[in-house]
Structure 1
Amino acid sequence: MHGISLLLFLDLLLVASVPAWPYSRTWGYGPSGTVGAGLIVMLWLVLTGQV
Protein backbone atom coordinates (compact mmCIF):
# COMPACT_ATOMS: atom_id res chain seq x y z
CA MET A 1 0.00 0.00 0.00
CA HIS A 2 2.86 2.36 0.78
CA GLY A 3 4.36 1.86 -2.68
CA ILE A 4 1.12 2.63 -4.47
CA SER A 5 0.68 5.80 -2.41
CA LEU A 6 4.17 6.88 -3.41
CA LEU A 7 3.43 6.12 -7.06
CA LEU A 8 0.31 8.28 -6.95
CA PHE A 9 2.26 11.09 -5.30
CA LEU A 10 4.97 10.92 -7.99
CA ASP A 11 2.28 10.89 -10.68
CA LEU A 12 0.80 14.09 -9.24
CA LEU A 13 4.27 15.65 -9.18
CA LEU A 14 4.72 14.75 -12.84
CA VAL A 15 1.49 16.49 -13.79
CA ALA A 16 2.35 19.50 -11.64
CA SER A 17 5.80 19.90 -13.19
CA VAL A 18 4.49 20.44 -16.72
CA PRO A 19 5.60 23.96 -17.72
CA ALA A 20 2.35 25.92 -17.83
CA TRP A 21 3.51 29.38 -16.76
CA PRO A 22 5.27 31.72 -19.19
CA TYR A 23 8.46 31.96 -17.09
CA SER A 24 8.71 28.16 -16.74
CA ARG A 25 8.52 27.41 -20.46
CA THR A 26 12.26 28.03 -20.78
CA TRP A 27 13.01 25.25 -18.26
CA GLY A 28 12.58 22.63 -20.96
CA TYR A 29 12.11 19.01 -19.96
CA GLY A 30 14.16 19.23 -16.76
CA PRO A 31 11.46 19.18 -14.07
CA SER A 32 9.04 16.80 -15.77
CA GLY A 33 11.86 14.57 -17.02
CA THR A 34 13.32 14.19 -13.55
CA VAL A 35 9.98 13.40 -11.97
CA GLY A 36 9.11 11.07 -14.86
CA ALA A 37 12.34 9.14 -14.38
CA GLY A 38 11.59 8.85 -10.66
CA LEU A 39 8.10 7.60 -11.52
CA ILE A 40 9.49 4.92 -13.82
CA VAL A 41 12.00 3.76 -11.19
CA MET A 42 9.31 3.67 -8.51
CA LEU A 43 6.95 1.77 -10.79
CA TRP A 44 9.68 -0.79 -11.44
CA LEU A 45 10.33 -1.20 -7.71
CA VAL A 46 6.63 -1.67 -6.96
CA LEU A 47 6.16 -4.20 -9.75
CA THR A 48 9.17 -6.26 -8.63
CA GLY A 49 7.96 -6.15 -5.01
CA GLN A 50 10.94 -4.34 -3.52
CA VAL A 51 8.86 -1.51 -2.06
Structure 2
Amino acid sequence: MLYTILLVVIVLALFGALPIHSFSSQWGYMPSGLIGTILLVWLVLFVLRQA
Protein backbone atom coordinates (compact mmCIF):
# COMPACT_ATOMS: atom_id res chain seq x y z
CA MET A 1 0.00 0.00 0.00
CA LEU A 2 2.79 2.40 0.93
CA TYR A 3 4.64 1.64 -2.30
CA THR A 4 1.52 2.36 -4.37
CA ILE A 5 1.07 5.75 -2.73
CA LEU A 6 4.75 6.55 -3.15
CA LEU A 7 4.63 5.51 -6.82
CA VAL A 8 1.66 7.82 -7.43
CA VAL A 9 3.52 10.69 -5.74
CA ILE A 10 6.59 10.05 -7.90
CA VAL A 11 4.54 10.03 -11.11
CA LEU A 12 2.79 13.26 -10.13
CA ALA A 13 6.13 14.86 -9.29
CA LEU A 14 7.52 13.82 -12.67
CA PHE A 15 4.61 15.49 -14.44
CA GLY A 16 4.97 18.54 -12.23
CA ALA A 17 8.67 18.85 -13.04
CA LEU A 18 8.12 19.05 -16.78
CA PRO A 19 8.99 22.54 -18.06
CA ILE A 20 5.72 23.20 -19.88
CA HIS A 21 4.87 26.53 -18.27
CA SER A 22 6.56 29.83 -19.03
CA PHE A 23 7.37 30.46 -15.36
CA SER A 24 8.86 27.00 -14.74
CA SER A 25 12.27 28.07 -16.06
CA GLN A 26 12.72 30.04 -12.82
CA TRP A 27 12.39 26.93 -10.66
CA GLY A 28 15.99 25.79 -11.21
CA TYR A 29 16.91 22.37 -9.87
CA MET A 30 14.18 22.19 -7.23
CA PRO A 31 11.74 19.85 -9.04
CA SER A 32 14.40 17.36 -10.10
CA GLY A 33 16.01 17.52 -6.65
CA LEU A 34 12.67 16.74 -5.04
CA ILE A 35 12.12 13.82 -7.37
CA GLY A 36 15.63 12.55 -6.65
CA THR A 37 15.03 12.75 -2.92
CA ILE A 38 11.75 10.88 -3.19
CA LEU A 39 13.37 8.20 -5.35
CA LEU A 40 16.21 7.85 -2.84
CA VAL A 41 13.78 7.40 0.05
CA TRP A 42 11.81 4.86 -1.99
CA LEU A 43 15.01 2.95 -2.83
CA VAL A 44 16.10 2.87 0.83
CA LEU A 45 12.66 1.62 1.91
CA PHE A 46 12.74 -1.04 -0.80
CA VAL A 47 16.22 -2.25 0.12
CA LEU A 48 15.48 -2.32 3.85
CA ARG A 49 12.32 -4.29 3.28
CA GLN A 50 14.21 -6.90 1.24
CA ALA A 51 16.86 -7.38 3.95
State the TM bucket, normalised to the shorter chain: 0.5 to 0.7
Highest relative contact order (Cα 8 Å, sep 6+), 1 or 2?
1
Per-residue CA deviations over 1:11-51 (Å, capped at 9, x if unaligned) read 2133112222111111111022112211221222122118x
Normalising by structure 2, we get a TM-score of: 0.63
Q: Could you list the runs of 5+ residues in structure 2 that have no partner in the other structure?
A: none
Normalising by structure 1, we get a TM-score of: 0.63
Task: Point out 4+ residue stretches in structure 1 off by more than 3 angstroms.
Answer: none
Answer yes or no: is the 8 Å Cα contact 2:10–2:38 preserved in 1: no
Q: Could you list the runs of 5+ residues in structure 1 that have no partner in the other structure?
A: none
RMSD over aligned CA atoms reads: 2.1
Report percent identity of matched pairs.
35
